[in-house]
Amino acid sequence: MALKTMREAISEALWEEMERDERVIIMGEEVGVWGGTYAVTKGFHDHFGPERVCDTPIAEGVIVGAANGAALAGLRPVAEMMTINFAFLAMDQIVNHSAKLHTMFGGQMTVPIVIRAVGGGGRQLGATHSQTPDVAFAHFPGLKVVSPGTPHDAKGLLKSAIRSIDPVMFIENATLYQVRGEVPEEEYLEPIGVSKIQRAGSDVTLISYSKMLQTSLQAAESLAGEGIEAEVVDLRTLRPLDMGAVVDSFKRTNRAVIVEEGWRSYGVGAEVAARLYEEAFDYVDAPIRRVAQREVPLPYNRELEQQMLPNMYDVIEAVKGVL
């Protein structure tokens, strides 16, 4: 398998799906002539033309609203949010229309829309452009929420999202675009709503997704040097949330640390911990620990921002705490 960046894997998924199905279109700010804020759609406008790669006004409500209409009319739009923070301007279209139209009208219509949104901090973009509000979107039934942590999964999950008849929020972390990983040359799909063990271990279960998957893997490698073997489970999808691999791993290790970039209160970690206590209480040998972002608006200053974000050393400290 070839080594490819996350950016290349996502771009390939979009390109292949547009070649495979002429109903797939892309729409968003600067996705066309400019080639995307993060260069994911570079070259798409020249190859597929302006009718299928559509530059839009700076109006997120319009972008998602138009994509919903296109999906209802038979197309398969991929609507890009330059940053997930701008998706707040389209919350009505996302959570009241994309997520609900299918069930509100008794299944008479489907909304096969993918909303690509870039999230996460660490890029000195200030508090309003650096949030990780993934759990806010995962709260709403009817909307699938996917957030991959490797190039392999990013490509396979995005292709599955585009082919899904359900609306999918596909969240990418901007600091992962340069991360490299093995990606098969042949076509493949990854199932939405299935968690995955990314590293085997026997002493403690690390549960994470997106950027924090990479942080957890780094922590696991460091801990291995001290004789501590951590198993790393990648959620990959926040809705539907698959606890299968998580519970199986926890039953073997009896200890867990949940790692997320979002804020700790009311977060993904809180949901996962609650489900572990409900589904595997008899296997608990130590209180489940959560590692998350410090609960302040992220500072612009680089050093302060990095101190607020969870890192490998936070994970290592939590692991030693549960051991």
Domain that includes residue 258, residue range:
196-322
Task: Look at the chain and report how many structural domains it folds into.
Answer: 2
Based on the fold, state whether residues 201 and 59 are members of the same structural domain: no
Q: Is residue 142 part of a domain?
A: yes
Tell me how far apart the alpha carbons of residues 81 and 131 are, in angstroms, rounded to a whole number: 14
**Burial of 73 by CB count in 10 Å (0-12 exposed, 13-18 middle, 19+ buried)?**
exposed
Q: Which of 183, 204, 236 is the last residue of a domain?
A: 183
Based on the fold, state whether residues 257 and 297 are members of the same structural domain: yes
H or E stretch at 48: helix 44-48
Based on the fold, state whether residues 315 and 178 are members of the same structural domain: no
Based on the fold, state whether residues 159 and 237 are members of the same structural domain: no
Whether the link from the prior residue into 240 is cis, omega within 30° of 0, is yes
Q: Is residue 178 part of a domain?
A: yes
Q: Is residue 245 part of a domain?
A: yes
Based on the fold, state whether residues 99 and 201 are members of the same structural domain: no
Q: Where are the beta strands (DSSP E) in 84-229?
A: 114-119, 144-146, 168-173, 180-183, 196-199, 204-208
For residues 255 and 323, the answer to whether their CB atoms sit within 8 Å is yes
Based on the fold, state whether residues 202 and 144 are members of the same structural domain: no
For residues 129 and 83, the answer to whether their CB atoms sit within 8 Å is yes
Based on the fold, state whether residues 133 and 12 are members of the same structural domain: yes
**pTM score, whole prediction:** 0.96
Q: Is residue 189 part of a domain?
A: no
Q: Which of 141, 156, 183 is the last residue of a domain?
A: 183
For residues 162 and 78, the answer to whether their CB atoms sit within 8 Å is yes
Based on the fold, state whether residues 210 and 289 are members of the same structural domain: yes
List 230's β-bridge partners, or say none: 204
Based on the fold, state whether residues 263 and 308 are members of the same structural domain: yes
Question: Residues 179, 185, 186, CA angle at the centre, nearest 5°?
Answer: 135
Q: Based on C-alpha coordinates, what's the Rg of the chain?
A: 19
- What is the maximal distance between C-alpha atoms in the chain? 59
Based on the fold, state whether residues 178 and 53 are members of the same structural domain: yes
Tell me how far apart the alpha carbons of residues 93 and 17 are, in angstroms, rounded to a whole number: 24
For residues 150 and 181, the answer to whether their CB atoms sit within 8 Å is yes
Instruction: Determine the number of helices (DSSP H) and then strands (DSSP E) in the chain.
Output: 12, 14
Query: How much is the pLDDT for 1?
Result: 84
Q: What is the chain's pLDDT, residue by residue, as a tens digit (323 residues)?
A: 899 999 999 999 999 999 999 999 999 999 999 999 899 999 999 999 999 999 999 999 999 999 999 999 999 999 999 999 999 999 999 999 999 999 999 999 999 999 999 999 999 999 999 999 999 999 999 999 999 999 999 999 999 999 999 999 999 999 999 999 999 999 999 999 999 999 999 999 999 999 999 999 999 999 999 999 999 999 999 999 999 999 999 999 999 999 999 999 999 999 999 999 999 999 999 999 999 999 999 999 999 999 999 999 999 999 999 99
CATH number of the domain residue 272 falls in: 3.40.50.920
Tell me how far apart the alpha carbons of residues 76 and 63 are, in angstroms, rounded to a whole number: 14
Q: Is residue 279 part of a domain?
A: yes
**Burial of 185 by CB count in 10 Å (0-12 exposed, 13-18 middle, 19+ buried)?**
exposed
- The torsion of the CA quartet 96, 100, 106, 108, rounded to 10 degrees, works out to 90
CATH number of the domain residue 112 falls in: 3.40.50.970
Q: Is residue 53 part of a domain?
A: yes
The pair of structure tokens assigned to 69 is: 């209409």
Residue positions annotated with a catalytic role: 60, 129
Q: Is residue 188 part of a domain?
A: no
Q: Is residue 191 part of a domain?
A: no
Q: Which of 153, 183, 213 is the last residue of a domain?
A: 183
Based on the fold, state whether residues 141 and 258 are members of the same structural domain: no
**Burial of 78 by CB count in 10 Å (0-12 exposed, 13-18 middle, 19+ buried)?**
buried
Based on the fold, state whether residues 155 and 203 are members of the same structural domain: no
Choose among 309, 303, 302, 293: nearest CA to 125. 302
H or E stretch at 275: helix 268-279
Q: Is 94 helix (H, G, I), strand (E, B) or coil?
A: helix
Tell me how far apart the alpha carbons of residues 244 and 15 are, in angstroms, rounded to a whole number: 32
